[in-house]
């Protein structure tokens, strides 16, 4: 059976060529390709786990996922951040069944094995009377560690032993990611919102990565009610292919400074002069870190006053047609209380689970997934169009790295994303 899947996957992948500007719809619907993604992609990339501000105190923890593996991220009693499989070494029960908290130890609910928040197995009920010679080697039975690395307070983890260091993985994307999560000390307010949508995970990932184009049409009503500027508000700016499947769009120029005026000196000390210039002229930002971490900075009007919001997104693959969305609201730690509250309101109103932009987007993603799945599609292979921006030359004078194109309407990032996706699935590289 495993061999059959392998050869079916190989045959299907051999037909895909992202640079042609056409992709088969099956990339969003084929269970074999999803199986291959779970076996390879999510084992060979860095996955975002948590923002350091979610676990500020010793003993704080959150439970997260890498691909389909449950993971605990904990700040140990020694102050160090670690991650572990949420899996008891006795029978494999989850040792932690809540989403966040503070604890010196995790006690397995099945038979009571107890693990310190640093991962070591510290206690086994009745150990002396039930194990040979009254003991087992507890030193060998700590929670399985997960390799983590931290960039700008963003904690990433990977299950792959061969995965390159995080900074190398992020590559040129670091320069652009800095504008989102490194422009000032940031904090996450509240636990992340999570909800499940019947969509393939790549549709939203690709939307944030490459698709400024939909804003004009899908979100037109928001412009019409005066919450966003008119007409081509989404087109002006830059399309950035940072390489490695990472990329973003930068809306520019700005009519107003998007951020808290009081923090200008903070931004200037956290960023390079070139980065500050891009930040100053930015009017929106969206992007994706390959494969499934996205971000967005959006400027909206609430009660007729402009305010921006920053959110990061994880598209967790539950099944080929099921995605759990994780959405964090981020704000500058040193922003004024008024700014933080208005920004949070703007987030809830626009991109929270019931936000008006979010509704527009989700309707498209779930409808596409359903519409591309089914017998008719199998009878007639469906091809989708990814040709926007083909042949366009990158700018030679943009301050940031990567291939940067004038104007945000392009699918260059999608072609680059699916190239890396295809290479990884084809090589079958994994843990």
Element (H, E) at 327: strand 322-332
In sign, the C-alpha dihedral spanning 153, 154, 159, 165 is negative
Taking phi over 0 as left and psi of -120 to 50 as alpha, with beta for the rest, 114 belongs to beta
x/- string (CB under 5 A) for Fe ion, residues 103-142? ----------------------------------------
CA atoms within 13 A on the CB side of 416: 23
Q: Which two tokens stand for residue 223?
A: 């412009």
Is the CB of residue 70 less than 8 Å from the CB of residue 83? no
Q: In what order do the strands lie in the sheet with 114-116?
A: 105-107, 114-116, 121-123
> Hey, which residues between 70 and 89 contact ligand FES (CB under 6 A)?
88
Q: Which is nearer to Fe ion, 229 or 394 (CB)?
A: 229
Contact flag: residue 176 with ligand FES (CB under 6 A)? no
Q: Which is nearer to ligand FES, 111 or 220 (CB)?
A: 111
Q: Which is nearer to Fe ion, 30 or 361 (CB)?
A: 361
Residue 301 binds which of Fe ion, ligand FES, none (CB < 5-8 A, kind-dependent): none
> Hey, which residues between 7 and 36 contact ligand FES (CB under 6 A)?
none
Residue 361 binds which of Fe ion, ligand FES, none (CB < 5-8 A, kind-dependent): Fe ion
Distance of CA 339 to the CA centre of its chain: 25
Phi, psi of 311 (to 5 degrees): -135, 145
> Hey, which residues between 349 and 378 contact Fe ion (CB under 5 A)?
361
Q: Which of 28, 48, 113, 151 binds ligand FES (CB under 6 A)?
A: 113
Query: What residues are paired with 64 via a beta bridge?
Result: 71
Contact flag: residue 97 with ligand FES (CB under 6 A)? no
Q: Coil, strand, or helix at residue 75?
A: strand
Q: Which stretch binds ligand FES (CB under 6 A): 49-57, 104-112, 251-259, 360-368?
A: 104-112
Q: Which of 14, 97, 99, 110 binds ligand FES (CB under 6 A)?
A: 110
User: How many residues make contact with Fe ion (CB under 5 A)?
Assistant: 1
CA atoms within 13 A on the CB side of 161: 2
Smallest distance from ligand FES to CB 143, Å? 11
């Amino acid at each position: 059976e495993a061999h059959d899947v392998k050869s079916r996957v190989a045959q299907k992948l051999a037909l895909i060529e992202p640079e042609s500007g056409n992709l088969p719809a099956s990339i969003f619907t084929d269970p074999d390709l999803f199986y291959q993604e779970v076996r390879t992609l999510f084992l060979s990339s860095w996955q975002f786990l948590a923002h350091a501000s979610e676990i500020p105190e010793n003993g704080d923890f959150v439970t997260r996922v890498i691909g389909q593996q449950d993971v605990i991220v904990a700040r140990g009693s020694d102050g160090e951040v670690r991650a572990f499989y949420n899996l008891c070494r006795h029978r494999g029960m989850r040792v932690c069944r809540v989403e966040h908290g503070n604890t010196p130890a995790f006690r397995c609910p099945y038979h009571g094995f107890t693990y310190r928040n640093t991962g070591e197995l510290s206690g086994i009920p009745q150990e002396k009377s039930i194990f040979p010679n009254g003991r087992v080697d507890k030193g060998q039975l700590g929670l399985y560690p997960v390799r983590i690395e931290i960039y700008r307070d963003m904690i990433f983890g990977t299950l792959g032993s061969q995965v390159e260091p995080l900074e190398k993985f992020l590559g040129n994307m670091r320069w652009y990611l800095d504008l989102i999560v490194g422009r000032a000390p940031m904090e996450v307010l509240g636990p992340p919102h999570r909800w499940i949508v019947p969509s393939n995970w790549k549709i939203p990932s690709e939307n944030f990565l490459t698709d400024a184009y939909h804003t004009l049409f899908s979100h037109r009503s928001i412009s019409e009610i005066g919450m966003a500027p008119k007409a081509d508000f989404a087109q002006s700016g830059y399309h950035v292919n940072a390489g490695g499947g990472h990329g973003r769009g930068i809306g520019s120029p700005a009519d107003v400074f998007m951020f808290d005026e009081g923090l200008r000196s903070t931004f200037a000390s956290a960023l390079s002069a070139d980065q500050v210039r891009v930040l100053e002229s930015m009017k929106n930002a969206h992007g994706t870190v390959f494969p499934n971490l996205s971000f967005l900075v959006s400027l909206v009007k609430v009660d007729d006053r402009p305010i921006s919001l920053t959110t990061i997104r994880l598209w967790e693959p539950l099944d080929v047609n099921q995605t759990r969305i994780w959405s964090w609201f981020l704000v500058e730690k040193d922003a004024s209380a008024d700014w933080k509250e208005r920004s949070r309101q703007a987030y809830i109103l626009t991109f929270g689970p019931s936000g008006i932009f979010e509704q527009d987007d989700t309707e498209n993603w779930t409808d596409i997934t359903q519409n591309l799945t089914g017998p008719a599609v199998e009878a007639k292979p469906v091809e989708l169009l990814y040709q926007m921006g083909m042949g366009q030359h990158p700018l030679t004078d943009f301050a940031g790295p990567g291939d940067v194109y004038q104007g945000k309407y392009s699918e260059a990032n999608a072609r680059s994303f699916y190239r890396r996706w295809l290479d990884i699935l084809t090589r079958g590289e994994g843990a």
